[in-house]
């Protein structure tokens, strides 16, 4: 025909500035005009094309050809062959990288979470139908074949947990979905429950059938009102469709689901504390064994699975264990959802196959560090995890590797840190979180955490000495060994891992009494550089405590003993005459 409408999408991926992309669009528009095809080709500047630091990119619709890293000389050729014609220039073409693999998030953002029909249309509840048509031993066998491990942090094989509960004799058994997500910066579970609640419900039906449970509970924190609302609706819809209730799919299996709200205590994500909370008691952990899969809720065998684990279960039964186990590494199968946050350009939820490197996650998916700052470290696993320094970013992500580095997979928080972050400050932040959230039942966690925080505060105020580093290590060791539950055992991880990889930085704080990035307020000092100062008096007027003295003739000085380090003078100065050191 020759008059086909085409659209070309352009983007300069080396820069966040839209002006650079505009230049590229103009080049194309000019080339098209001289070829007199501009009236049937639209040039569109896009804000993000999914590739980073690959130079110029053009994507041609409808053929979906993409060219990257070309220069101005290539433009006439691209116009001639691929825009006027339909030819593909192989030397310039790139494939859209497919680093993400969506299993858990397969429907998130694609279906209406409040409409069960859309979930069914995308293959939903097929897995449950299949699972309920075989014996429960077969169900557990399939989960075993898939290699699925708990996504809540520990990485315990899911089938084993189910098997323990299945083999325990009891008149009643329970399955609990742990949606008490409390790590700072993590929100995978919330998004799954809000975006695709039925996939989790389906996983629970399958799990309930496997262990012979007749009742299941969602334990969702009350801070997630939208998630609760959508899960409530999803349960009601599933019930009206006959996927929950008596005699599901005519198999004689009956299963009920209920929601229990958590009041937002971090420790209630721990299995035994969670059970206590559902029972209406105070949410404190109790010693294990007996494990919940033997003696859990109201003394009955109980399996507690994380939201993401259960969403994986429904996928495994829909698509088969093979489809799941073909993804990932030797010991860690499948994918993992991470909440990528911190100093990163594209913060958000990502789902990647196990075995991908942290560097790929940060630079190829996340689009690099904010403001092109050098990356310093990546923190995984929230307050129970650790910090992984830049030089180890090429490590493949799986349960074992992260553990070796002194971090954990955790539930999936991933926080990117740039050179602007102080490691002492970071470890203080995480430890403070655990100290606040400690239930206080056992002494190592209650006292140890508090003492460690005191030492860290001392260091960040410039009052520390070298013995403090040893003291930190000693208390950390005691906490790891003697705490009652996972919270206390893992609370020192952020401190230990920063001490391991960034000991120099601690020593700077202790010996030189400086914080190079200026995060530790106690170590900061503000100075007026007289060469740059124009004696305008702006800092003098803004200082809330009168720590700046002088006048417009003699100039101004900061009285260090009065200064409270609020930084207002630093911000108000237009001449860069105030320095912080």
Partner 1 sequence: MSSKGYVRIGMSTCGLAAGAQDVYDVLKEEILKRDLAVEVKKTGCLGMCFAEPLVEVNIAGLPRVVYGKVDKDIALKIVENHLCAHNVFNDHIFLIME
Question: Where do contacts with partner 1 occur on this chain (CB under 8 A)?
Answer: 5, 7, 9, 18, 25, 42, 44-50, 59, 61-62, 64, 105, 107-114, 187, 190-191, 194-196, 224, 226-227, 345-351
CB of 44 or CB of 134, closer to partner 1: 44
Paired sense of beta strands 555-558 and 548-551, if any:
antiparallel
On whether the CB atoms of residues 38 and 72 are closer than 8 A, the answer is: no
Closest CA to 98 of 398, 365, 348: 365
In the complex, what is the shortest distance from the CB of residue 240 to partner 1, in angstroms, rounded to a whole number? 20
Distance CA 495, CA 386 (A): 8
On whether the CB atoms of residues 277 and 90 are closer than 8 A, the answer is: no
Distance CA 305, CA 284 (A): 19
In the complex, what is the shortest distance from the CB of residue 225 to partner 1, in angstroms, rounded to a whole number? 9
In the complex, what is the shortest distance from the CB of residue 347 to partner 1, in angstroms, rounded to a whole number? 5
Paired sense of beta strands 302-306 and 174-179, if any:
parallel
In the complex, what is the shortest distance from the CB of residue 348 to partner 1, in angstroms, rounded to a whole number? 4
CB of 158 or CB of 191, closer to partner 1: 191
Tokens, residue 105: 């998030």
Tokens, residue 565: 């380090």
Distance CA 219, CA 388 (A): 31
Distance CA 110, CA 129 (A): 23
Distance CA 70, CA 365 (A): 22
CB of 338 or CB of 506, closer to partner 1: 338
In the complex, what is the shortest distance from the CB of residue 407 to partner 1, in angstroms, rounded to a whole number? 23
In the complex, what is the shortest distance from the CB of residue 61 to partner 1, in angstroms, rounded to a whole number? 5
Distance CA 151, CA 508 (A): 38
In the complex, what is the shortest distance from the CB of residue 69 to partner 1, in angstroms, rounded to a whole number? 18
CB of 46 or CB of 134, closer to partner 1: 46
Residue 391: Cβ within 10 Å count: 9
Residue 554: Cβ within 10 Å count: 9
CB of 354 or CB of 547, closer to partner 1: 354
In the complex, what is the shortest distance from the CB of residue 44 to partner 1, in angstroms, rounded to a whole number? 5
Cis amide linkage into residue 62, ω under 30° from 0: yes
CB of 104 or CB of 248, closer to partner 1: 104
CB of 225 or CB of 242, closer to partner 1: 225
CB of 188 or CB of 321, closer to partner 1: 188
């Amino acid at each position: 025909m020759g008059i086909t409408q085409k659209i070309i999408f352009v983007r300069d991926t080396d820069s966040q500035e839209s002006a650079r992309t505009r230049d590229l669009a103009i080049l194309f528009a000019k080339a098209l005009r001289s070829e007199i095809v501009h009236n049937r080709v639209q040039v569109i500047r896009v804000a993000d094309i999914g590739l980073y630091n690959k130079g110029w990119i053009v994507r041609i619709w409808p053929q979906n050809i993409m060219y990257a890293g070309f220069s101005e000389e290539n433009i006439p050729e691209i116009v001639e062959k691929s825009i006027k014609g339909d030819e593909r220039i192989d030397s310039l073409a790139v494939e859209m990288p497919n680093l993400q693999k969506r299993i858990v998030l397969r429907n998130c953002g694609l279906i209406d979470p409040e409409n069960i029909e859309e979930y069914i249309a995308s293959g939903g509840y097929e897995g449950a139908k299949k699972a309920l048509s075989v014996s429960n031993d077969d169900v557990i066998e399939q989960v075993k074949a898939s290699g699925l491990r708990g996504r809540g942090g520990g990485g315990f094989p899911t089938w084993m947990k189910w098997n323990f509960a299945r083999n325990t004799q009891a008149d009643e058994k329970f399955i609990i979905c742990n949606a008490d997500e409390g790590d700072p910066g993590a929100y995978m579970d919330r998004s799954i429950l809000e975006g695709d609640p039925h996939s989790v419900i389906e996983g629970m039906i399958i799990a309930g059938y496997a262990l012979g449970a007749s009742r299941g509970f969602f334990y969702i924190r009350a801070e997630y009102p939208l998630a609760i609302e959508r899960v409530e609706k999803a349960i009601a819809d599933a019930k009206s469709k006959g996927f929950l209730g008596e005699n599901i799919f005519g198999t004689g299996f009956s299963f009920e689901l209920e929601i229990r709200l958590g009041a937002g205590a971090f420790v209630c994500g721990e299995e035994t504390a969670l059970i206590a909370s559902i029972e209406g008691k105070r949410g404190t952990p109790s010693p294990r064994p007996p494990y919940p899969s033997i003696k859990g809720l109201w003394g009955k065998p109980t399996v507690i699975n994380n939201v993401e684990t259960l969403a994986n279960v429904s996928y495994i039964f829909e698509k088969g264990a093979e489809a799941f186990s073909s993804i990932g590494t030797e010991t860690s199968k499948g994918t993992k959802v991470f909440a990528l946050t911190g100093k990163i350009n594209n913060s958000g939820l990502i789902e990647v196959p196990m075995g991908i490197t942290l560097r790929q996650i940060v630079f190829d998916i996340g689009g690099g560090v904010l403001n092109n700052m050098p990356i310093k470290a990546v923190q995984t696993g929230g307050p129970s995890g650790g910090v992984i320094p830049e030089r180890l970013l090429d490590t493949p992500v799986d349960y074992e590797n992260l553990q070796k580095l002194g971090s954990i997979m955790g539930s999936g928080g991933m926080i990117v840190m740039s050179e602007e972050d102080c490691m002492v400050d970071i470890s203080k932040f995480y430890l403070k979180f655990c100290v606040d959230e400690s239930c206080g039942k056992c002494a190592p966690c209650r006292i140890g955490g508090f003492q460690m925080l005191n030492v860290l505060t001392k260091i960040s105020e410039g009052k520390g000495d070298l013995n403090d580093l040893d003291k930190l290590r000693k208390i950390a060791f005691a906490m790891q060994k003697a705490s009652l539950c996972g919270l206390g055992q893992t609370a020192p991880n952020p401190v230990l891992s920063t001490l391991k990889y960034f000991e120099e930085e601690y020593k700077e704080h202790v010996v030189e009494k400086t914080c190079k990035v200026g995060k530790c307020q106690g170590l900061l000092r503000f100075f007026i550089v007289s060469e740059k100062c124009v004696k305008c008096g702006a800092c003098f007027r803004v200082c809330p405590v009168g720590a700046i003295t002088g006048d417009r003739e003699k100039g101004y000085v900061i009285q260090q003993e009065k200064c409270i380090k609020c930084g207002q003078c630093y911000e108000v100065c237009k001449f860069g005459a105030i320095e912080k050191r």
